[in-house]
Amino acid sequence: MIRKILLGLLLSVAGSSFGQAELYKVVDGYKVDENTMKGFRTWRAAACDRCHGANQEGLVGPSLVNSMKTLTKEEFVITVRDGRLQKGMQSFGTSPQVMENMDHLYAYLKGRSDGAIKRARVEPIQ
Amino acid sequence: MRIARHFHRPAWLCVSSALLALPGLALANADVEKNIANSKNWATQAGDMYNQRYSKLDQIKTSNVGKMQVAWTFSTGVLRGHEGSPLVIDGRMYLHSPFPNKVFAIDLDTQKILWKYEPKQDPAVIPQMCCDTVNRGLAYAEGKVILQQADSMLVALDAQSGKVIWSTKNGDPKLGAVNTNAPHVFKDKVITGISGGEWGVRGFIAAYNLSDGKLAWKGYSVGPDAEMLIDPAKTMTWTDGKLAAVGADSSLKTWKGDQWKIGGGTTWGWYSYDKALNLMYYGTGNPSTWNPAQRPGDNKWSMTIFARDVDTGMAKWVYQMTPYDEWDFDGINEMILADIDVKGKPTKALVHFDRNGFGYTMDRTNGTLLVAEKFDPAVNWATHVDMKTGRPQTVARYSTAKNGPDVNSKGICPAALGSKDQQPASFDPNTKLFYVPTNHVCMDYEPFKVEYTAGQPYVGATLSMFPAPGSHGGMGNYITWNAGTGKIVQSKAEKFSVWSGSLSTAGGLSCYGTLEGYLKCVDAKDINKELFKFKTPSGIIGNVFTYEHKGKQYIGVFSGIGGWAGIGMAAGLEKDTDGLGAVGGYRELNQYTELGGSLTVFALPN
């Protein structure tokens, strides 16, 4: 168990490779901190999976596992807030849940893209 | 508050004025009838008003279809999913495209474009469209080509010039009320519906005057009786082994609080019309949200077969197939009208293959439930339909309501895209059988609580889809169905869902397209006999149609992968790391096809 937690901590360090405060905590590949859980719940409530796939692998919209490797935080926020209408990405600017949880959504998706969060359906760290 | 804007329509005023105009002879629409009667045309999306998708043309037949060749092709210049089919009227073809909803008129002598229309639409509607930016085609009547744009604008174009004659706004796209359905002309009305069940849109069917585009009537799927154009004393439904009036507040009583105001029941399928009865038929979609815990009750009249008087819009009868939906078994699939023997008795029947996996046969004159049987043996969410109550007998372990929010209910068959989705079936009056393109897909479904925000998605469930376990491993079947007995006659396995509308012809053929991109024609008497197969440029989700020009019969189909089944094709599919759903199954599609819309037309060699 201790080894698993250590692994989780190592991965969360990987997730904060820019030297910022750590983005997310993950244990056993699917247990995450409270804020990252909020990110997941936002992902689900905003029905992002309808276009990006239940596992962020891409459907009519691009794979976020890929996109999040190159998208900056700023670009991410602009894209989610304003959409990319021509490409079919809607604006979530009027969604209180998305706007209030932008950082958490980013953390969750970054964790998925980094490979630290190993499945889309996460659970809280007990 | 924004929802309130739906209600100020004086529905009763429209009805009472329409009632004063006493109908004379039952006329479907003389021009449309004339165009349908000429079997050289493909005058409506289904070839007729009964939704039979049957052609009397017989030049191409079982004995020679194997020699069929490509006669000509046409690119629409649009990449997304191409549903529906072109129309052919008197030597001209009218084609539509997905968003941006281009319309082309083509001279069949030269295949030259006579005119082209491309509306300007706010790109904000693109993301509002669930399941790809499809459009299911045009209607034609009295020199007008009718286009139902994505942004909800209903437009009549001059068939000679392509110029706009009238246009009218059918919904509010800012709230997710957009359109994918084909408009239908019955009598002097253009009938259209609305999409947006995943945006909390309250569904309705609307009739506009063909002459000037003004609203004649509008009947909601849910809500107060007057707004649904339901007469509590006269609108009938199958209850307790007999037909009975629905009674007052039949919808309101089945919703908690105001949930009906964002309650779905959208209407994006294919409609049919029986002129002798002056009734039109269609189905309503899923209740919103997909999380059943948030909307206890039967949620009437979502998931319902409606029969409405075309003049007034008044509902003659209703039948709810899936009360209290827990699976997104959106009930919009087409109603096929056919006069057949049902359990040995000649019957004016309505036959419907629902997303929920049951094939229904109703007496279309009055709404009596006659047959309700599974048309895919994989269906497991219900054991059967109780013929007395008309209600499906659900299985507890597949009940996403009983299992509750945040619990993943596993192995439900069919998946949300249904044992059949919008891809329309055909009826062959010679074999008396229905030819049904089906899905053979199951799902895991996890509902969760979701808040409504106007103009934002309102879904409330995550699901993953996979081929029906313990079967042939494919995700589709092409079947023949006896609607009089409720039995599958033959079943032809397909690797992917059959998402293409089928065509039956007097040449003894039954033709359909596949997601890999094959147009297939099989022997109507033995569908396992594949007589013709040709690989078109992209996966087929369009409907097969036929016409005759200068003494030659042609069979055509749109190809252009997309739609719900094909959305996995559109972009960067990743290697699946964990329990992947539909994409896992459909992912293989990219070994066969890419995006790209075009029409392929076949004929026999000279």
DSSP states of B511-569: EEE-TTSEEEEEETTEEEEEEEEEE-SS---S--EEEEETTEEEEEEEE---HHHHGGG
Contact (CB<8Å) B456/A118? no
pLDDT in the model for residue B589: 81
Q: Alpha helix (H) ranges present in B306-443? A: 400-403
Q: What is the mean pLDDT of residues B444-462?
A: 95
Cβ pair B410, B298 in contact under 8 A? no
Contact (CB<8Å) B570/A60? yes
**B462 and A CB contact within 8 Å:** yes
**B464 and A CB contact within 8 Å:** yes
**A92 and B CB contact within 8 Å:** yes
Q: Is the pLDDT of residue B588 over 80?
A: no
Contact (CB<8Å) A85/B123? yes
Distance from CA of A40 to the nearest CA of B (A): 12
> Which residues of B are less than 8 Å from A123 in CB distance?
none
Nearest to A62 among B446, B453, B572 (CB): B572
- φ, ψ at B345 (rounded to 5°): -115, 130
Tens of pLDDT, residue by residue over B214-244, are: 999 999 999 999 999 999 999 999 999 999 9
pLDDT in the model for residue B571: 32
pLDDT in the model for residue B586: 65
pLDDT in the model for residue B336: 98
pLDDT in the model for residue B27: 66
Q: Is the pLDDT of residue B13 over 90?
A: no
**B574 and A CB contact within 8 Å:** yes
**A117 and B CB contact within 8 Å:** no
pLDDT in the model for residue B584: 53
Distance from CA of A12 to the nearest CA of B (A): 20
Provide the pLDDT confidence category of residue B26 given band limits of 50, 70 and 90.
low
Report the interhelical angle of A73-82 vs A102-114 (nearest 10°): 120
Nearest to A55 among B460, B463, B578 (CB): B578
Nearest to A88 among B127, B450, B578 (CB): B127
Tens of pLDDT, residue by residue over B372-403, are: 999 999 999 999 999 999 999 999 999 999 99
pTM (two decimals): 0.92
Contact (CB<8Å) B578/A120? yes
Which two tokens mark B198? 């995943």
pLDDT in the model for residue A10: 45
Contact (CB<8Å) B571/A62? yes
Q: Is the pLDDT of residue B4 over 60?
A: no
Tens of pLDDT, residue by residue over B396-435, are: 999 999 999 999 999 999 999 999 999 999 999 999 999 9
Nearest to A57 among B127, B457, B576 (CB): B576
Which two tokens mark B216? 């004649």
**How far are the Cα atoms of B283, B496, B500, B579 from residue B472, in angstroms, in the given order?**
31, 11, 20, 20
Provide the pLDDT confidence category of residue B37 given band limits of 50, 70 and 90.
very high
Cβ pair B507, B523 in contact under 8 A? no
β-bridge partners, B106: B93, B113
Nearest to A119 among B448, B578, B581 (CB): B578
Contact (CB<8Å) A60/B451? no
Nearest to B457 among A46, A88, A121 (CB): A46
pLDDT in the model for residue A61: 83
pLDDT in the model for residue B538: 96
Domain containing residue B102: CATH number? 2.140.10.10
> Which residues of B are less than 8 Å from A68 in CB distance?
none
At residue B594, the 3 state secondary structure works out as: coil
**A111 and B CB contact within 8 Å:** no
pLDDT in the model for residue A23: 95
Superfamily classification of domain A2-124: Cytochrome c-like domain (1.10.760.10)
**How far are the Cα atoms of A27, A75, B47, B215, B580 from residue A69, in angstroms, in the given order?**
21, 12, 50, 51, 21
* Residue type at position B446: E
For B443, residues 6+ apart whose C-beta sits below 8 A from its C-beta are B327, B412, B413, B414, B415, B416, B463, B464, B465, B466, B581
B15's enclosing H/E stretch is helix B11-20
Nearest to A58 among B130, B457, B573 (CB): B573
Owning domain of residue B560: 2-23+30-603
Distance from CA of B128 to the nearest CA of A (A): 7
Tens of pLDDT, residue by residue over B324-362, are: 999 999 999 999 999 999 999 999 999 999 999 999 999
> To the nearest whole number, what is the mean pLDDT of chain B?
92
**A95 and B CB contact within 8 Å:** yes
Contact (CB<8Å) A63/B572? yes
Distance from CA of A16 to the nearest CA of B (A): 23
**A79 and B CB contact within 8 Å:** no
Strand order in the sheet with B433-439: B426-428, B433-439, B476-482, B487-494
> Which residues of A are less than 8 Å from B583 in CB distance?
53-55, 57, 59
Q: What is the mean pLDDT of residues B474-502?
A: 96
Residue of A38, A57, A117 to mutate, interface with B, max B Cβ within 10 Å:
A57
> Which residues of A are less than 8 Å from B131 in CB distance?
50
Contact (CB<8Å) A83/B577? no
pLDDT in the model for residue B567: 61
Instruction: Give the B window 95-154 contacts with A, CB below 8 Å.
Output: 123-124, 126-128, 130-133
**How far are the Cα atoms of B497, B556, B563 from residue B559, in angstroms, in the given order?**
15, 10, 12
Provide the pLDDT confidence category of residue B464 given band limits of 50, 70 and 90.
confident
Tens of pLDDT, residue by residue over B565-586, are: 776 543 323 334 333 344 455 6
pLDDT in the model for residue A6: 45
Q: Is the pLDDT of residue B595 over 60?
A: yes
pLDDT in the model for residue B87: 98
Distance from CA of B456 to the nearest CA of A (A): 7
Measured between alpha carbons, how far is B406 from B11 in angstroms, rounded to an integer?
41
Closest chain A residue by Cα to residue B563 = A60
Tens of pLDDT, residue by residue over A29-80, are: 999 999 999 999 999 999 998 888 888 988 878 889 999 999 999 999 999 9
pLDDT in the model for residue B22: 44
Distance from CA of B173 to the nearest CA of A (A): 13
β-bridge partners, B166: B156
pLDDT in the model for residue A20: 54
% of chain B residues with pLDDT over 90:
87
Q: Is the pLDDT of residue A83 over 50?
A: yes
Contact (CB<8Å) A63/B464? no
Tens of pLDDT, residue by residue over B157-170, are: 999 999 999 999 99
Would you name the residues of B annotated as active-site residues? Answer: 328
Distance from CA of A9 to the nearest CA of B (A): 22
Cβ pair B541, B565 in contact under 8 A? yes
pLDDT in the model for residue B590: 79
Provide the pLDDT confidence category of residue B546 given band limits of 50, 70 and 90.
very high
Report the interhelical angle of A34-45 vs A102-114 (nearest 10°): 100
**A78 and B CB contact within 8 Å:** no
Measured between alpha carbons, how far is B144 from B165 in angstroms, rounded to an integer?
8
Burial of A72 (0-12, 13-18, 19+ CB in 10 A): exposed
pLDDT in the model for residue B292: 98
Q: Is the pLDDT of residue B15 over 50?
A: no
Residue of B126, B130, B328 to mutate, interface with A, max A Cβ within 10 Å:
B126
Residue of B577, B586, B587, B590 to mutate, interface with A, max A Cβ within 10 Å:
B577
Q: What is the mean pLDDT of residues B523-528?
A: 98
Provide the pLDDT confidence category of residue A8 given band limits of 50, 70 and 90.
very low
Q: Is the pLDDT of residue B297 over 90?
A: yes
Nearest to A66 among B127, B453, B574 (CB): B574
pLDDT in the model for residue B131: 67
Closest chain A residue by Cα to residue B450 = A45
Going by the DSSP 8-state scheme, the letter that residue B493 receives in this structure is E
pLDDT in the model for residue B19: 42
Number of residues written out for chain B: 606
Domain count for chain B, please give it. 1
Contact (CB<8Å) A50/B198? yes
DSSP B185-196: EETTEEEE----
* Residue type at position B427: F
The domain locations on chain A are 2-124
